[in-house]
Amino acid sequence: IVEGCGRRRYKQDFIKYLIYAQSSYDETISRLNMISELYFNESELDDLKSQYSVLGKRIYNFIKYV
């Protein structure tokens, strides 16, 4: 998102960077799920997933807004 911030004047470019952020969110959630199967304390992981869920919703809503 920061990378695309300088491209705000060019709406399509800015949206592209927001979509990259959304993709990174999806990738992070996937990795957290893999980690949970191997190592992590579930309560710690649930906290991370919850925080990332809020972030993902905010990114999605921001894309819709733009």
List the chain domain ranges.
2-65
pTM greater than 0.75 (yes/no): no
Cβ pair 56, 29 in contact under 8 A: yes
pLDDT of residue 13: 83
* Each residue's pLDDT tens digit, 5-60: 666 677 788 888 889 999 999 999 898 888 888 876 777 788 888 888 899 999 89
Cβ pair 56, 12 in contact under 8 A: no
pLDDT of residue 54: 92
pLDDT of residue 43: 77
